Chain A
Amino acid sequence: MLGHGSGGRLSAELIRDIFLPAFSNPILDRLDDQAVLDIKGLRLAFTTDSFVVQPLIFPGGDIGSLAVHGSVNDLAMAGAWPLYLSAAFIAEEGLSRETLRRMARSMAAAASDAGVAIVTGDTKVVQKGKGDGLFITTTGIGLVPEGLRLSADQARPGDLVILSGSIGEHGIAILSSREGLEFETAIESDSAALHTLVAQMLGASRNIRCMRDPTRGGLSSALNEIAAQSRVSIRIDEKRIPVRDQVRGACELLGLDPLYVANEGKLVAVAAPEAADDIVDAMRRHPLGREADVIGVVGADHPGLVTMWTAFGSSRIVDLLPGDQLPRIC
């Protein structure tokens, strides 16, 4: 079912029930967004991601730039400097040459901006009706700085949680450009490559435990994964999580919670308390981290639980959703 690809509880089940038992090994079992490989003294980060977005072109980006940013960011979340990408295309019969050319140009521009080269690839065409225009898979490798080991199981009680900026823009931009839902204000996707921001953070302090880019499933899923894998609790403060007015308005209208809406150019990091100020300062000097702030704290009670202190002054559980959020009736 589609919900199995939502990044929520159904996705986690699929991985746990089918892929982990089939492929289990110490590297995969860490369940990070990338594998870090020791190869003859060299530490390489290695990741792959498939992109199936509709519409192919949306405010603030397209499937091509997204496919580059997605894999670059998965590498960057290990602290790696991205080097090379592969790109595989599955095009549905009938996709126009012009659209494909436009996507290729967009990928090339995003790769060039990020300083990575697309060095190998593949193309397949499927019958009309057997695909959704265009699917792209990118695989990336990058170099991990010596001695750095970021992983979602590294958070410890007392650590602080840092968010790089406002949430929910990518998901709402996609929703707003789908048929039948036109907003008066255009919300643009935040799709961006995060590795230079990460480099700036690591320049300020190596005392970072882990990083995640809160894509599908939003900030909530990223925090729940960290809490579960590190066996800690996480408590966040709603007042410190920036949400643009247009995103908030759209979420109010549709009955969605921005905590579960996808981002493509944000990161959440867990850092040692004594390092957090330096890291936040460094982030704020980077264009993608101007609104960076400490949004929460890691605790020892209730391992795996994420809670939020609301702007209203109450506390609530921030759980994983079963699948995608559904717009409500009224």
Chain B
Amino acid sequence: MKYLDEYRDPAIARALARRINSAANRRWVVMEICGGQTHTLMRYGIDEMIPNAVELVHGPGCPVCVTPLELIDKAIAISRMPDVIFTSYGDMLRVPGSDMDLFGARANGADVRIVYSPLDALKIASANPGQRIVFFGVGFETTAPANAMAILQAAEHGIANFSMLVSHVLVPPAMRLILESPAHRVQGFIAPGHVCAIAGFSAYEDLAREFNIPIVVGGFEPVDLLEAIAMLVEQLESGRAELENQYSRSVSRTGNIAAQQAVSRVFTVSDRKWRGIGEIGRSGLRLRDEFLRFDAEKVFHLGPLAVEEPKECRSALVLQGLLKPGECGAFGERCTPMTPLGAPMVSSEGACAAWYRYKRHA
């Protein structure tokens, strides 16, 4: 398949691994930001191709994982209200809330539906005028444009029975938090290619300069990631700290201007709580005041919820690259995809799920 097979070619991958192994005179610590990248690295065993050159630590880029527990609880509470059809990407349904997950709410009679796009949720709203349709608007810069379009269309067509439970987060503030943490060991970043395809990469140029750290925008296939790692190792070995773009087939400096305009018409930057990590200033998006009538928290009069994270789940450390999933005492024993303590074990982009699926040897 074009644009896929050439980026999964084992001969090209082996050549890149040789390039990395011969460039590295010591072992460098590299963090991939995006959970999709984590899964590729684990699935293809890339860490095992370059064990002496690079230690890979996994970053916070799993939208499902960083959605705060109280938002999950709010989603479940809304889904159980009368005349509500609660719509969500499939990923979110298995994430444990305080008492249950959205699958549990559905089993208890709530109308919870998986959709593939917020625009599908909007269609459901048009077709069911007597019901209240809520979409769970989570994600990074990648999902924000489609969510913005859904709000704009709801406003334009006067679809008043549609609202969105918003928990949008942004990547650069999370990277800044990691870089400002005294415990961090990261020496180079693979920046998230799809986020940059939307937002461009100038914010990452600023981070590279400010913190004097190399950053390479990387894709999601094994050859992409090996090439990005090679570029990082070569920068580190030669003492450079620049922004480079490995994923140039999708990413430009400016990104997708039309998508950015839709996002900034609908959303404004706000403080956001990240699951396990806590509040990060100006790290997320909320609906602008003129669109607050589509804010599910307002529509359903939900106040702030005080909930406590399960103590045994150490996902906050995993999400900041301070702990590997396999180093967690609960991993694979008390915490499995069947009995998850936290979201990283059930999300398709979660680091714990990737380890459980690909790195567990019986």
A interface residue numbers (CB < 8 A to B): 1-3, 9-10, 179-181, 245, 248-249, 252, 254-255, 302, 304-305, 310-317, 319, 321-323, 326-330
B183 to chain A, nearest CB (A): 29
Q: Which residues of A contact B140 (CB under 8 A)?
A: 330
B116 touches A327 (CB 8 A): yes
15 pairs, A vs B, C-beta closer than 8 Å: A3-B103, A179-B120, A180-B116, A302-B362, A305-B362, A311-B10, A312-B222, A317-B361, A322-B337, A323-B94, A327-B89, A327-B114, A328-B90, A328-B91, A329-B92
Q: Which of B40-48, B200-208, B246-254, B310-318 participates in binding chain A? A: B40-48
Q: Which of B36, B139, B348 has most A Cβ within 10 Å?
A: B348
B349 on the A face (CB < 8 A): yes
B45 touches A330 (CB 8 A): no
A2 touches B90 (CB 8 A): no
A310 touches B357 (CB 8 A): no
Inter-chain CA distance A305–B140, complex, in Å, is 36
Chain A interface mostly helix, strand, loop or mixed?
Answer: loop
A317 touches B360 (CB 8 A): yes
A17 to chain B, nearest CB (A): 13
B178 to chain A, nearest CB (A): 21
Q: Which residues of A contact B358 (CB under 8 A)?
A: 316-317
Q: Which of A2, A327, A329 is within 8 Å of B64, CB to CB? A: A329
Q: Which residues of A contact B194 (CB under 8 A)?
A: 330
Q: Which of A314, A317, A322, A330 is within 8 Å of B338, CB to CB? A: A322
The 3 A-B residue pairs with the shortest CB-CB distance, nearest first, are A326-B90, A314-B45, A180-B120
Check A2/B106 contact, CB under 8 A, given A326-B90, A329-B89.
yes
A329 touches B91 (CB 8 A): yes
Inter-chain CA distance A55–B149, complex, in Å, is 29
Q: Which residues of A contact B36 (CB under 8 A)?
A: 330
Check A313/B10 contact, CB under 8 A, given A9-B338, A180-B116, A322-B337.
yes
Q: Which residues of A contact B349 (CB under 8 A)?
A: 328-329
Inter-chain CA distance A326–B89, complex, in Å, is 8
Q: Which residues of B contact A312 (CB under 8 A)?
A: 8, 10, 13, 44-45, 222
Q: Which residues of A contact B91 (CB under 8 A)?
A: 326-329
Inter-chain CA distance A173–B140, complex, in Å, is 30
A329 to chain B, nearest CB (A): 4
Inter-chain CA distance A235–B13, complex, in Å, is 23
13 further contact pairs, Cβ within 8 A, besides A2-B106, A315-B45, A327-B89: A1-B104, A1-B107, A10-B338, A248-B4, A302-B362, A313-B10, A314-B44, A316-B43, A316-B358, A323-B94, A327-B114, A327-B116, A328-B91
Q: Which of A248, A314, A326 is within 8 Å of B348, CB to CB? A: A326
Across the interface, name the chain A residue whose C-beta is closest to B92: A329
B142 on the A face (CB < 8 A): yes
